[in-house]
Amino acid sequence: MAQNDKDRSESSPSGLVILDQRGDLFNRVRQMDLGTAIWRTLRVPGANEILSQSIVLLVAVYDEPDWSAIWEIARRFPTIVAVHPTSAQDALRSLQAGAFGYIDRELPADAMRRGLLGALRGESIYGREVVGAWLRDGQGAARSNPEGAGRLTARQREIVALIARGATDKEIGATLGIRTATAQKHVANLLRRLGVPNRAAAVGLLWKDEAQSPG
């Protein structure tokens, strides 16, 4: 891991790791008041290098995205893909790869800060139109399990509702009166049951299910 942000808050429960070969995005983000630890790395960090279990990995992409590599990274960390310019097709590929979010690398500072703060709270950075496109896409339809959405328990639907409001695992646990680790297991089981890559897709699948329900 390289170039720790010396102004970070040591007491922050989460952190932002920026995979950035050039350093342009890192230099922008470190000027934002995110209230959390910020690191820059030149490679995908190993498990023993992560100081917090609540990190978000922001990947700066300057050329064509390597979606296979992003898929591998997103299996290990909540991952946000930062590119410029953005495209609807790449946003869909990002969601299919299991990334936590997809943003324009050159967003205005205020807009980027809002998005990153949301991600640090556990909110996926995708619009409804992207999730809807994923659900309409052939691969999305094949991977997801719409029947599973119809068989969710009341507790599982409550968890999806909390996710849609941007609740973190810790906040889900506090709301439901369970441990954070238990909440994490519930969320992981929910994603597997729905056959979706991440929280944004889970919420989108429930939106679709509710929209198609009679009455």
pLDDT tens column, 17-49: 999 999 999 999 999 999 988 999 998 877 566
Q: What pLDDT was estimated at residue 77?
A: 78
Q: Tell me the C-alpha distance between 211 and 36, whole Å.
A: 38
Distance of CA 73 to the CA centre of its chain: 12
Task: Output the pTM of the full model.
Answer: 0.64
Average pLDDT over residues 175-196: 84
Least confident of 42-46, 80-84, 194-198, 210-214: 210-214
- In this predicted structure, the answer to whether residue 211 has a pLDDT above a threshold of 50 is no
What is the three-class DSSP state of 153? coil
Q: What pLDDT was estimated at residue 3?
A: 44
Q: What are phi and psi of 166, to 5 degrees?
A: 90, 15
List, in order of start, the domains of the chain with CATH numbers: 2-126 (3.40.50.2300), 132-212 (3.40.50.2300)
Calculate the average pLDDT of the chain: 77
- In this predicted structure, the answer to whether residue 62 has a pLDDT above a threshold of 80 is yes
Side-chain half-sphere exposure of 68, counting CA atoms within 13 A: 0
